[in-house]
């Protein structure tokens, strides 16, 4: 376990060093990262680094926080680009769904069927909460996508029946 921790620390330091060196040496990259409305890419980058560390050190559970951080970064990017900061009133319900994506990815790498099904249900519940909160907190356009929830529920039930142990 100590060897994996050292490997993870080494990978993080190398990636960070390469990143900061590239930002210093390439003015266009520096302007892209620190200029304008691109600041959420830093948060997305942290999620990517967490995911890479999880893959390199073969700790698939790190994909869960990686998906949460990366998902929040993507959500912040969308809000920053659209100026729809009021959507936080209901967009927070996506965070458990981001965790569900990480659970599914971790389950895929570990071969854990229960985790994949559990992650799917977490995503489904997250989308249901998004529809409920969004419908009365200003995300009225979300309600028209309720058939997607039916499709997702069908996929989850299909996956549950196919992967159920006999």
DSSP 12-64: HHHHHHHHHHHHHH-HHHHHHHHSTT-THHHHHHHHHHHHHHHHHTT-GGGHH
Are both 9 and 49 inside the same structural domain?
yes
What pLDDT sits at residue 129?
86
Q: Give 75-120 pLDDT, tens digit per residue.
A: 999 898 888 888 898 899 999 999 999 999 999 999 888 898 899 8
What pLDDT sits at residue 34?
72
Tally of structural domains, the chain:
2
Are both 61 and 133 inside the same structural domain?
no
Average pLDDT score, the chain:
84
What pLDDT sits at residue 166?
54
Start-to-end CA span in the chain (Å) = 35
Give the separation between CA 114 and CA 103, rounded to whole angstroms.
Answer: 10
Are both 37 and 97 inside the same structural domain?
no
Are both 46 and 99 inside the same structural domain?
no
Are both 101 and 152 inside the same structural domain?
yes
Are both 3 and 76 inside the same structural domain?
yes
What pLDDT sits at residue 139?
63
Dihedral-angle region of residue 164 (phi above 0 means left; psi in -120 to 50 means alpha; beta otherwise) = beta
* Domain hosting residue 56, numbered range: 1-83
Query: Does the pLDDT value for residue 148 go beyond 70?
Result: yes
Are both 78 and 96 inside the same structural domain?
no
Are both 40 and 79 inside the same structural domain?
yes
Angle between helices 27-34 and 40-56 (to 10 degrees): 110
Exposed e or buried b for every residue in 136-150, given b needs 16+ CB within 10 A? Answer: eeebeebeeeeeeee
Q: Domain end: 23, 56, 83, which one?
A: 83
Q: Domain end: 83, 112, 131, which one?
A: 83
Q: Domain end: 83, 98, 114, which one?
A: 83
Are both 96 and 133 inside the same structural domain?
yes
Give the separation between CA 162 and CA 43, rounded to whole angstroms.
Answer: 37
What pLDDT sits at residue 68?
97
Are both 15 and 27 inside the same structural domain?
yes
Give the separation between CA 48 and CA 63, rounded to whole angstroms.
Answer: 9
Q: Give 25-49 pLDDT, tens digit per residue.
A: 888 877 777 767 778 888 898 899 8
What pLDDT sits at residue 111?
87
Give the separation between CA 160 and CA 13, rounded to whole angstroms.
Answer: 41
pTM, entire model: 0.75
Name the percent of the chain lying above pLDDT 90.
26
Are both 93 and 66 inside the same structural domain?
no
Tell me the average pLDDT across 131-144: 72
Query: Does the pLDDT value for residue 164 go beyond 80?
Result: no
Are both 149 and 76 inside the same structural domain?
no
């Amino acid at each position: 376990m100590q060897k994996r921790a050292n490997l993870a620390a080494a990978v993080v330091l190398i990636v960070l060093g390469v990143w900061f060196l590239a930002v210093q040496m390439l003015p266009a990259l520096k302007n892209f990262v620190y200029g304008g409305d691109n600041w959420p890419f830093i948060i997305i980058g942290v999620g990517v680094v967490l995911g890479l560390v999880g893959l390199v050190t073969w700790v698939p559970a790190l994909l869960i926080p990686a998906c949460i951080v990366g998902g929040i970064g993507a959500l912040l990017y969308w809000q920053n680009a659209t100026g729809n900061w009021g959507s936080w009133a209901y967009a927070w319900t996506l965070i458990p769904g981001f965790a569900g994506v990480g659970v599914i990815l971790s389950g895929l790498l570990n071969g854990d069927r229960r985790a994949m099904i559990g992650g799917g249900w977490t995503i489904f519940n997250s989308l249901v909460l998004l529809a409920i909160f969004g419908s009365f907190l200003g995300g009225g356009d979300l309600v028209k996508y309720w058939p997607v929830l039916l499709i997702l529920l069908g996929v989850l039930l299909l996956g549950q029946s196919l992967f159920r142990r006999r």
